[in-house]
């Protein structure tokens, strides 16, 4: 059970704006989501209609819940470069129910630490505003780049958590996933530290 949120939240970092989606983001997301370098480890590659529908779902969820997969903007440089955010894990596994953090950024933005920077803000929001004790991240076992981001975020990996994603066919080579966990700071009372930060982020 998470804390209730009133209205779509916007998060700010030194270089990024994590904001609600605009319909003008959809076409840019379709191009990002169809880049073979980005979807290399996806068990299913979306066609253009599927990508547009996914963007619309992200848009609708933020409007409904106040948080989700935020559209990511680099103010003064790029209006839209992908998404970063949080969602409930959409299948059953040994670690569910759980909230997961995820990201997908344009290839041209890789290697600049932007995914890590934005994900840190999303983690802080999840722990401090949603009052989540734990947030997870997952990816295919071969996806070294995403795993490095998880490690930079201070997430913990235990090989005993490796699992087969139940919604991926049994004979699919990308079915095996790793799980990383991020725990809230034990010395911080739930919701204590980020109340002011959220106020500043949404102003």
* Structural domain boundaries, residue 152: 11-201
Determine what percent of the chain is predicted with pLDDT higher than 90.
Answer: 86
Residue 4 covered by a domain: no
Determine the Cα angle at 83 with ends 176 and 177, to 5°.
Answer: 5
Q: Is pLDDT of 196 > 60?
A: no
CATH at residue 19:
3.40.630.30
Q: Which of 152, 99, 91 is nearest to 125 (CA)?
A: 99
- CB 111, CB 65: distance < 8 Å: no
pLDDT digits (tens, 9 = 90+) for 132-190: 999 999 999 999 999 999 999 999 999 999 999 999 999 999 999 999 999 998 755 44
Tell me, what's the pLDDT at 44?
Answer: 87
Q: Is residue 90 part of a domain?
A: yes
Residue 5 maps to a domain = no
Q: In this predicted model, what pLDDT tens digit does every residue of 74-91 receive, in sequence order? A: 999 999 999 999 999 999
Whether the model clears a pTM of 0.85, i.e. scores above it, the answer is yes
Listed in sequence order, the residues at least 6 apart from 174 whose beta carbon sits closer than 8 Å to its beta carbon are 41, 42, 43, 140, 142, 168
- CA 56, CA 76: separation in Å to the nearest integer? 25
pLDDT, averaged across the chain: 91
The tally of domains found in the chain comes to 1
Q: What local confidence, expressed as pLDDT, does residue 199 receive?
A: 39
pLDDT of 62 above 70: yes
| 3-class SS of residue 99 | strand
Domain-embedded: residue 2: no
Q: For the residues of 16-83, what is the DSSP string, one character each?
A: -EEE---GGGHHHHHHHHT-TTTSTT-SS---HHHHHHHHHHHHHHHHHHS-SEEEEEETTTEEEEEE
Burial class (CB in 10 A: 0-12, 13-18, 19+), 59: buried
The rounded distance, in Å, linking the Cα atoms of 52 and 46 is 9
Can you give the pLDDT at residue 201? 46
Q: What digits encode the pLDDT tens for the residues 91-129? A: 999 999 999 999 999 999 999 999 999 999 999 999 999
């Amino acid at each position: 059970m998470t804390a209730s949120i009133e209205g779509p939240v916007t998060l700010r970092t030194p270089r990024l704006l994590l904001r609600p989606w605009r319909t003008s983001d959809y076409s840019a997301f379709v191009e990002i989501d169809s880049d073979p370098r980005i979807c290399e480890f996806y068990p299913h590659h979306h066609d253009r209609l599927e990508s547009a529908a996914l963007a619309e779902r992200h848009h609708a969820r933020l409007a409904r819940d106040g948080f989700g997969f935020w559209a990511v903007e680099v103010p003064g440089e790029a209006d839209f470069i992908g998404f970063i955010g949080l969602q409930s894990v959409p299948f059953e596994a040994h670690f569910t129910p759980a909230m997961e953090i995820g990201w997908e950024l344009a290839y041209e933005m890789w290697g600049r630490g932007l995914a890590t920077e934005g994900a840190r803000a999303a983690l802080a929001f999840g722990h401090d505003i949603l009052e989540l004790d734990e947030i997870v991240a997952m990816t295919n076992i071969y996806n070294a780049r995403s795993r490095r981001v998880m490690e930079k975020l201070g997430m913990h990996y235990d090989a005993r958590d490796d699992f087969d994603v139940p919604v991926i066919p049994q004979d699919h080579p990308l079915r095996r996933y790793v799980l990383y966990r991020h725990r809230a700071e034990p010395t911080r009372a739930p919701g204590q530290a980020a109340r002011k930060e959220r106020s500043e982020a949404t102003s």
